[in-house]
Structure 1
Amino acid sequence: MTTLYHSPQSRSDTVVDLVRLLGAKIEIREVTIARQDGTGGPDPDNPHPEKKVPYLVDGSEHIRERGAIVLYLTDAYPAAKLGPTVGEEGRGSYLSWLAWYQGVMEPLLILKWAGVSHPAIESGLRDEATMLERLAEPLRSGPWLLGERFSAADMLCSSPFQWFKELLPADPTIRDWAERCAARVTR
């Protein structure tokens, strides 16, 4: 059986929501994790090599990092139509958004939260304003990152704004999109 290792009120919540929207028969096993406030700690029952979540085990496959798990699951459950399949229009954009979230958006948000700035960061990842503009660009012509199609990329990229309302920019394009995403997930 496929098992998702999860800790409530963490980044794995988005993957739990995805599992529900996919209609996937996946066991969700709660584990403890070390929290920023000093609570919790590594759980010996968590097979993640760093004891983090989410972590997906599907037979001999072990998948970590939200973008990779999202891609794995949307490919495994194509009938839910939460991610374009190989050869389907929009696949490249979908893959790009998943990778961009992991490689640019989340690191920039963590660095902002930590109060870290440096020219090397802006040279490689750019800055918050550029990140927000990348999000807003496709949303000006369609309600979702892939235009008329809601996808797991919307879930992933909007997830920080669901948790940290103070991160929501004043731009109504992004604010409205984040609200639409939240409404889709809580149905």
Structure 2
Amino acid sequence: MLTVHHLNNSRSQRVLWMLEELGVDYELRRYERDARTMLAPPELRAVHPLGKSPVLTDDALAIAESGAIIEYLVDRYGEGRFSPPHGASPARVRYNYWMHYAEGSAMPPLLLKLVASRIGKAKMPFFAKPIARRIGETLQASFIDPQLKLHLSYIDAELAKSAWFAGDTFSAADVQMSFPLEAASQRAGAKDLAHIHAFLERIHARPVYRRALERGGRYDYAD
């Protein structure tokens, strides 16, 4: 039996979406973030040593990392759907690229932006707060925001070429890319770019996407 160890407001949501697209039965175990730290609860360490979500268990097998989980699900249950055939076709190369780009390139500057925005809000002596705030603001202005602009402009230009990331057909690469673009729409103005905005509208309009939201619970990034 497939079990998704699901954390609210997290990458785990796209695993639920992928499962709903596949039409596979699964069990959902919910975990809630600590309201103060926003970290995952310690109970997740009983499932995986890193204590992160998502984790998928399939009988005795435990798989972490959303990209690895999605690839496993598509390979096992897809029956040729949601990914181009294996090989060196342009569509497969493009599919593999976006599956890895989502976490390897798109997410790091978004995570840095989140961390930098919190530097000035951390607990510290009052006299250090202006210095910390200035460090965070400088880091964002000089490095993080230019990087985000570069990546988002690139993604928007790529989506101008085709409706979906691997070409003209919806695939698991679109599921994988959903979280960075949803996060960027909240933190970095991605929804102001026409093709990214249209992509987000397309995925949010999918009935299966809405069904995954109903199962997963609170997910602020879909707004």
Q: Same fold (TM over 0.5)?
A: yes
Q: Secondary structure at the match of 1:79?
A: coil
The amino acid of 1:78's aligned partner reads G
Determine the C-alpha separation between the residues in 1 that align with 2:39 and 2:105.
28
* Structure 1 runs not aligned, ≥5 long: none
* Counterpart mapping for 1:1-187 below 5 A: 1-34=1-34, 37-38=37-38, 41-43=41-43, 46-79=46-79, 81-87=81-87, 89=89, 90-115=91-116, 117=139, 127-162=147-182, 165-166=185-186, 167-169=188-190, 170-184=192-206, 185-186=209-210
User: Deviation of residue 88 (structure 1)?
Assistant: 7.8
Mapped contact 2:204–2:210 kept (Cα < 8 A): yes
Identity in percent: 30
TM-score (norm 1): 0.82
- Flag the 1:80–1:4 CA change in 2: closer, same or farther, 3 A: farther
Mapped contact 2:159–2:195 kept (Cα < 8 A): yes
User: Deviation of residue 39 (structure 1)?
Assistant: 7.0
Determine the C-alpha separation between the residues in 1 that align with 2:74 and 2:31.
24
Highest Rg: 1 or 2? 2
User: Deviation of residue 168 (structure 1)?
Assistant: 3.6
Mapped contact 1:78–1:85 kept (Cα < 8 A): no
The amino acid of 1:23's aligned partner reads G
* Structure 2 runs not aligned, ≥5 long: 117-135, 212-223
TM-score (norm 2): 0.70
Q: Which structure carries more relative contact order (alpha carbon 8 Å, separation 6+)?
A: 2
